[in-house]
Amino acid sequence: MKKTESTPGPWFITHYGPLRASYQHQIGTADKTVAYTWLPSSPDDKIPQTSPEHEANARLIAAAPELLEALEAVLSGPVEQLDRTVNLSLAAIAKARRTP
């Protein structure tokens, strides 16, 4: 399997909250930021607010390394390892959807 050139996971939402006139999520590892999500506030908002869609987008980005690993495992593994690949896939989906 080709080694990815992206920042190795796992990635986490490392910061979230109001920032100036927007609401942002910072996503990355413990020592490196790989992405930001940004949601501008409406003109009448004094404190920017997040939304369920914004939260879900940040979780999906944070789950990207696990999703890639699961897909690569499904496509490259022998049938005997199907249980492992299904478990990887379920864990990655749960992280993206924030389900236990």
Residue 83 CA, distance from chain mean position: 23
Does residue 28 carry a pLDDT above 80?
A: yes
pLDDT of residue 96: 85
Match 């990355």 to its residue by tokens. 28
pTM exceeds cut of 0.75: no
pLDDT recorded at residue 39:
80
